[in-house]
Amino acid sequence: MQDLKVNINGEEYRVKVEEASSGKLNVYFDGEKFEVETKSDIEKQLFDEIERQEKGKDKGVITAPMPGVVFSVDVKVGDDVKKGQKVIGLMAMKMENEVCAPASGKVKQVKVRKGDSVNKGDILVVL
């Protein structure tokens, strides 16, 4: 078990933390136990990118959420896609990740091919 100082909204708290199981932690604070689910770095990058795209003003531009290699291109120019539909398969850190459309629309451009290496933020598909 580790003793940690945690800063939340400018307030500092002391907590005790122990690993409960894979991807879960037990956090003890003020006599109570809280089970917390953790995310890997890749999951965090994906969630951050999805949030960025959903809040972004240009939802028609689909970018790589992380560096990786394209292992599948699931759309072609002219296809109609729905919000949440997989458009690209991206291999990153030996994990297959689905890059999905943040909005519905028609595919105007596909900027990558199977086997291409991409960096975070590279444009993959334009709706």
Q: Report the candidate in 62, 122, 71 with the shortest Cα–Cα distance to residue 92.
A: 71
Q: How many residues does the chain have?
A: 127
Q: Do 96 and 60 share a structural domain?
A: yes
- 46 with 90, same domain? yes
pLDDT at 55: 59
CB atoms within 10 A of CB 52: 13
Regarding whether 70 and 121 lie in a shared domain, the answer is yes
Q: Give the CATH number, domain containing residue 67.
A: 2.40.50.100
- Is 32 in the same domain as 52? no
Please, what's the b/e burial string for 80-99 (b: 16 or more CB within 10 A of its CB; e: otherwise)?
Answer: ebeeeeebbbbebeeeebeb
What local confidence, expressed as pLDDT, does residue 75 receive? 97
Whether 58 and 74 map to the same domain: the answer is yes
Residues spanned by the domain of 22: 2-37
Q: Do residue 87 and residue 122 come from a single domain?
A: yes
Give the number of domains in the chain: 2
Does one domain contain both 8 and 26? yes
94 and 53 together in one domain: yes
* 21-62: pLDDT as tens digits: 767 888 898 889 988 887 666 666 666 666 666 655 566 889
> 45 and 28, same structural domain?
no
